[in-house]
Structure 1
Amino acid sequence: MLKDALKGMRVVDMGQYIPGPFATLLLIDLGAEVVKVEPPGGDPMRVFGPLDPDGISPLYKVLNAGKTVVIADLKSETGKEQLSRLIRKSHILVESFRPGVLERLGFGPAALDVINKTLTHVMLSGFGQTGPWRLKAGHDLTYLALTGSLAMQGTEETPVMPFPPAADHAGALMAVIAVLSGLLRRLRTGRGAHLDVSLHESAQALNGLGLALAERGADTGRCRDLLNGGAAYYGIYRTKDGGFLAFAPIEPKFWAAFCGAVKRPDLLHRQADPMPQAALKAELGNLFSTKSRDEWGVILEAVDCCVEPVLDPREVPGLPQVRDRGLLPLGRSGVIDPLLPILLEGTPPMPRAAMRQSELEDVIATWSQRD
């Protein structure tokens, strides 16, 4: 089982909103035990978006499935003392305080080295622990704006914000890589690590292709390049019923299969039209507007040409492929529980336990008994 990978590893999660909690959620699927430490007011994600009848957001439940949640007032000496004992018993700390905040509370890197010299400590922040923007406030959309990627996506008239939040999730994935790297480093050297991960730079790393194109002087405007709307054969088209198709027959064999399926051999040579392919896009738009999304699905499903319906999220859990792979179960907290998408020898990760609330002293006592 994948849970053998980090079995016995104890994680303190001091993140909020999406990045830190999503990172530690994935560590659960690798076998780690996660205790989420929240301030007296709780993680703001508890009341973010629509609320369930119990007053808690389903978004919070998804991000914190399988965790034990405790409350600690780090402005009090009692809270600081409790956190210190918890960290002493842990292997991994993931936190998302603004640079300098944890240090002012008495838990900066030097203090953590005294508490637990083998700790793998991941510091998630907007812009990193150094540099002129280290204390600059931001959110997912503003991080993306500063990477150049937002300018490249959307329509000719305006950039379009992505969902799910790309920088938040990129940062979470980089944090998981940082945790695993830190643990391997400790295995080789016996030392802990303080790892600086920024949401801005995580999103920036994902825009390596766009930055490379810009550096070479390519036109990186929206709807100019093959991958951002310039090509008629790689785009999104509206159908007769107001639905949409994701259209991606990039390879000539897929384009030929599409032209044959819709009985339009006259379009075969048009794939080579110069960019941006506005005229061909208009022609395909007229074609797709003649039938509904599902009618096109019936026609194109019979051929292998990389065209799929743009699904509503409510349609996803019932897909045969999704059901067969078993990675999107209904969790024990009563919400969808997307598992780490890695199968070990054909077996998906085990479903996560439900999130539970506990007292910090009880967690410390339990961890102490295992030492």
Structure 2
Amino acid sequence: MSLDGVRVLDLSTLLPGPMATLLLADAGADVVKVERPGRGDEMRSYQPKLGGASANYAILNRGKRAFAADLKDPADRDRVLALATSADVVVEQFRPGVVDRLGLGYEAVRSRNPGVVYCSITGYGQTGAHATRAGHDLNYLAGMGLLDVVVDATGAPPLPPTVIADLAGGTYPAVVNILLALRRRDATGVGAHLDISMSRNLQTMIYGYFATHQAGGGWPVPGADLLTGGSPRYRIYPTADGRHVAVASLEEKFWRLLAELIGLPAEYLDDAGQEAAVAEAVAERIAAHPAAHWRSVFDGEDVCATVVGTFPEAVAAGLVTPDGPDRLVGDGFDVGALPSPVDPVLRPAPAAIGYPALEPLPVGDVWLS
């Protein structure tokens, strides 16, 4: 196991931190999660339920252990600090300054554990004008300009299909930096305080807009750029039965094959300078037939055009795998666990594992030997 023997103290809640520590646990780390007494992590109360906790909590915290501690109580705080003293990694997700006031900040931990990798995940980073602002995924996307680049017919941005800042700006940068910091610590003995800002890390998601701006091309105009609706080669077109086809035929070979398959007249093959007219012509042809027709037309063709599927269709196609080899088990249920992005060669064999009940924080060392 890649992280066998690595101890992770998880003080985070909800999604970004718990997903990060789930990936570390999948790679073999021993993850101990500290939650509030009573109801624990707020996500435990979400619906629907799997056993005594929410399905969301169960999916994100498989294979961890959870203990209740009141971080404002000096005795509990000191016991959690003792856990941090022998941890390799500490993950926290409070607003800047909160863990310091609790006596569990980086300096308090580092003074006892110089090699600790201490990871702080926040919306806007530890410093700066926005550091203490409250926010959720949608707020970070809105503030960074990402919501503005694709708009509907009324000019309004649609809701994203999933959380993006939490995962792409929080979870994955946290995991990458934790692993890099562990690598450096193993070589030098030096720990680190990692400042994971979800909004700042969203800049990697705007790499193309960033490059265009740096080259003097300004910032994106909503719905006008190559990947935001400005090109007929990269759009979503409605079908005759109210479904949609996602076209991403950017390269010339894909575009020409698409044109052939949908019967696009030759005068529309060169879309440069007539993008709106070409998009209208493509839309007219796609709208002439139902989704099943286009699915059969595109099946087996190297064309980069796909009928927008439902989740049941994605499961039937094997693209979504809710019943994989890893199992999430508990009182009265045995379901597929969240498929892990940790490659099988880097993690233990698939197993049936439960999610943690919230137990009293014991006196003494809770780490596995």
TM-score, normalization: structure 1? Answer: 0.89
Does the 8 Å CA contact 1:327/1:340 hold for their aligned counterparts?
A: no
- The alignment partner of 1:94 has SS state of strand
Structure-1 separation of matches of 2:341 and 2:363: 29
- Structure 1 residue corresponding to 2:76, chosen from 76, 79, 85: 79
Q: 1:125 to 1:347 in 2, by over 3 A?
A: closer
Q: 1:147 to 1:321 in 2, by over 3 A?
A: closer
Does the 8 Å CA contact 2:328/2:355 hold for their aligned counterparts?
A: no
* 2:19 is equivalent to residue 22 of structure 1: yes
Does the 8 Å CA contact 1:91/1:119 hold for their aligned counterparts?
A: yes
- Structure 2 residue corresponding to 1:9, chosen from 6, 11, 36: 6
Matched residue type, 2:92: E
Look up the match of 1:354.
354
Does the 8 Å CA contact 1:122/1:175 hold for their aligned counterparts?
A: yes
Structure-2 separation of matches of 1:203 and 1:321: 26
Look up the match of 1:166.
164
* 2:280 is equivalent to residue 282 of structure 1: yes
Does the 8 Å CA contact 2:268/2:278 hold for their aligned counterparts?
A: no
Structure-1 separation of matches of 2:352 and 2:50: 22
Structure-1 separation of matches of 2:361 and 2:218: 58
The within-5 A match list for 1:217-232 is 217-218=217-218, 220-232=220-232
* 2:114 is equivalent to residue 99 of structure 1: no
Q: Which has the higher strand share?
A: 2
Q: 1:213 to 1:148 in 2, by over 3 A?
A: farther
The within-5 A match list for 1:1-371 is 4-40=1-37, 41-48=39-46, 50-52=47-49, 54=51, 56-155=53-152, 157-170=155-168, 171-215=170-214, 216-218=216-218, 220-264=220-264, 266-267=265-266, 269-274=268-273, 277-320=275-318, 331-332=328-329, 334=334, 336-344=336-344, 350-351=350-351, 353-362=353-362, 365-367=365-367, 370=369
Structure-2 separation of matches of 1:317 and 1:231: 31
1:110 to partner: Cα distance: 1.5
Structure 1 window deviating more from structure 2 (357-366 vs 153-162): it is 357-366
The CA RMSD over aligned residues, in Å, is 2.6
Q: 1:68 to 1:133 in 2, by over 3 A?
A: same
Does the 8 Å CA contact 1:66/1:354 hold for their aligned counterparts?
A: yes
Gap regions ≥5 residues in structure 1 = none
- Number of residue equivalences: 362
- The alignment partner of 2:227 has SS state of helix
1:201 to partner: Cα distance: 0.7
Q: Which has the higher helix share?
A: 1
Structure-1 separation of matches of 2:10 and 2:366: 17
1:354 to partner: Cα distance: 1.5
1:88 to partner: Cα distance: 2.1
- The alignment partner of 1:359 has SS state of strand
Q: 1:346 to 1:299 in 2, by over 3 A?
A: farther
Structure-1 separation of matches of 2:262 and 2:349: 41
Structure-1 separation of matches of 2:192 and 2:78: 22
Structure-2 separation of matches of 1:53 and 1:7: 28
Structure-2 separation of matches of 1:191 and 1:360: 33
Does the 8 Å CA contact 1:118/1:191 hold for their aligned counterparts?
A: yes
Deviations 1:76-114 (A, max 9, x none): 122112202221232111110111100001112211112
1:57 to partner: Cα distance: 2.5
TM-score, normalization: structure 2? Answer: 0.89
Q: 1:31 to 1:53 in 2, by over 3 A?
A: closer
Structure 1 window deviating more from structure 2 (7-16 vs 342-351): it is 342-351
Q: 1:330 to 1:298 in 2, by over 3 A?
A: farther
Q: 1:158 to 1:330 in 2, by over 3 A?
A: farther
Structure-2 separation of matches of 1:326 and 1:341: 16
Q: 1:239 to 1:346 in 2, by over 3 A?
A: farther
Structure-1 separation of matches of 2:360 and 2:83: 8
- The alignment partner of 1:356 has SS state of coil
Does the 8 Å CA contact 2:173/2:201 hold for their aligned counterparts?
A: yes
